Amino acid sequence: MLFNSISFLIFFPVVTLLFFLLPHRFRWVLLLVASCFFYMFFKPEYILILAFTIVIDYFAGIFLENEPDKKKRKKYLLASVIANIGVLSVFKYYNFLNDNVTGLALLFNLKNPIPHLNWLLPIGLSFHTFQAMSYTIEVYWGNQKAERHFGIYALYIMFYPQLVAGPIERPQNMIHQFYARQQFSYNNAVHGLNLMAYGLFKKVVIADRLSRYVNQVYSNPGHANSFSALIAVCFFSIQIYCDFSGYSDIARGAAKVMGYDLMINFNRPYLASTISEFWSRWHISLSTWFRDYLYIPLGGSRAGKWKWYRNLIIVFLVSGLWHGANWTFIIWGALHGFYVIFAILTSGTRDKLAKATAIAKWPRIYKFINQLMVFILVTFAWIFFRAESFHKAKAVIGKLFEGTWSHNLTQLAAEKGPLNLILSFFVIGLLALSYWLPVNLKLKHSLLFLIITIFIIIILGKNGGAEFIYFQF
């Protein structure tokens, strides 16, 4: 079920109403059933995959807690990780690896006998797999007690607001909340609805509008000129931010109305002045996951210079691969790894340069230049993220540097009409205006904000129930 669909408009109030009408002891049942229903709306049979990993990790958690022998504990953890990664590999990476084997075999005039599998990627697989893994790892480390209540554990994995596109929650933040007796609170309800409205605004007013322009240019770069290619790549940066952070806001809001707190997943990432800061603001639940479960166990920055760089590259390559089984995602990850290492290597020189040019005397300007640089670098990397293939990415980059800056209106508007282009800039302006609001969206005049936001959604929203980009991961 999509958050931006009519079905959800009915589903959400019904579930919320039932939640507060039911006694506390039955609420987990309601939420679990509702979450199953929510997930099965996409492709019902894939709930079996989810059930498989839930059962494995539930027992893995208990075995890990009960087992005093370190070696055996390690084996249980390994079994759980293999089961989770195994499911992910089969559904997400099998065809990618197989296609690469086929390509390699063709180079030697050989035929790959392994068949290509025509199955769909279960929606949100990477999200709930990582959430499940964080549970067993935390139990293994002794930071979290194994959950004995199967229903509550299943709900931790399946809680519908964050099931298909995160935030990837840690057990320490979520499980205890399911035991807490949630009371209806007017403040929670209004705050939650505000978050949902703001998220929906980002999705249907901004992301879906910008997607029209972006899709047109990326599907047919040959028709674009340098101007429209530049607009499209910048628009995609904003589109993906609004699409994904919009989803996170709706998820947080839907949970908040019922009294649950999900973690903040985005913190105005394009205001970052360094790439490292960008990653502390973008998809925070995933970047902290990689930090805690991959980067630090690899040795982090304390293992010597070269190992540090190696660790960074590994983390970003895996992050790229997490997003999708395609070389374009790997390039995207590698680019970010390169940016971070380059920033480390040049930090001294950049500081000297700032002092020499006296730009550091104007901290605001200096910060703005850095923010702009980060935006340009991130936007360039997004080209690989958005393009369906390396060749398409190359074509878009080619257009950027082609030097065709003609004012042809049809090309400039990417064949979608000048009004669409004007409205695209207008809604970006609205997004910028919304940055005056507090990050947590706790407002003095919250009802007024809610009314205005719903008004804007109805007037400027794009009808059509477009999927969220991150659903495919």
Partner 1 sequence: MRVLLPLFFIFSGAGFVFNYFFEKEIILKSPICGAYKVNRIITETHPQEIPIFGSSRAGGGFIPDSLGSDLFNYGLSGTNYDVALFFLKQECRKIKTTPWIILNFDLDGMTYGRGDIGNYILNANNPEIEALLGADYRGYFSVPFIKYYGRYENYFGLFLSDRIELTKITNKGASLEKNRLPQKEFNDLVSERKNTSHTFRNDPVLEQRLLHIMNTNSNRQFIFVIAPYHTSYFQGYTNQAPEQAFLDTLRSFKNAKVFDFSKLPLADSMFLNTTHINYKGAVIFNHLLRDSLKALGAD
Active-site positions?
323
Binder of partner 1 out of 410, 425, 440, 467 (CB under 8 A): 410
Alpha-carbon torsion angle 323, 324, 325, 331, nearest 10:
-70
The reply to whether 463 sits near partner 1 by the rule CB under 8 A is: yes
Kindly indicate which of the ranges 79-87, 311-319, 337-345, 461-469 contains the residues binding partner 1, using the contact rule CB under 8 A: 461-469
**Which window, 144-152, 260-268, 289-297, 447-455, contacts partner 1 (CB under 8 A)?**
447-455
Tell me the one-letter amino acid at 451.
I
Is 21 one of the binding residues for partner 1 (CB under 8 A)? Answer: no
Pick from 462, 469, 470, 473 the residue near partner 1 by CB under 8 A. 462
Least Å distance, CB 397 to partner 1, is: 22
Nearer Cβ to partner 1 (78/409): 409
- The answer to whether residue 22 forms part of the interface with partner 1 (CB under 8 A) is no
Contact residues for 163 (Cβ-Cβ < 8 A; gap 6+): 35, 38, 39, 124, 127, 128, 157
- The answer to whether residue 459 forms part of the interface with partner 1 (CB under 8 A) is yes
CB half-sphere exposure, 92, CA atoms < 13 A = 24
Does residue 10 touch partner 1 according to CB under 8 A?
no
Contact 232, 397 (CB under 8 A): no
Helix (H) or strand (E) holding 404: none
Site string for partner 1, 160-199 (x = CB under 8 A): --------------------------x-------------
Residue 223 interacts with partner 1 (CB under 8 A)?
yes
**Any alpha helices (H) in 282-389, and if so which ranges?**
284-290, 296-298, 305-323, 327-356, 363-386
For position 13 contacting partner 1 by CB under 8 A, the verdict is: no
Query: From CA 292, how far away is CA 68, in angstroms rounded?
Result: 24
**CA triplet 91, 117, 104: central angle to 5 degrees?**
95
Q: How many angstroms separate the CA atoms of 279 and 10, rounded?
A: 36
Closest distance to partner 1 from the beta carbon of 390 (Å): 24
For the bound state, the minimum distance from the C-beta of residue 460 to partner 1, rounded and expressed in Å, comes to 7
Q: For residue 154, what are the contacts with CB-CB under 8 A and spacing of at least 6?
A: 32, 54, 58
Distance CA 429, CA 422 (A): 11
Q: Which structure tokens are listed for 137?
A: 């790892």
Residue of 420, 431, 434, 443 that binds partner 1 (CB under 8 A): 420
- Of the two residues 357 and 408, which places its CB atom closer to partner 1 in the complex? 408
Q: Which residues bind partner 1 (CB under 8 A)?
A: 186, 204, 223, 409-410, 417-420, 423, 447, 450-451, 454-455, 458-464
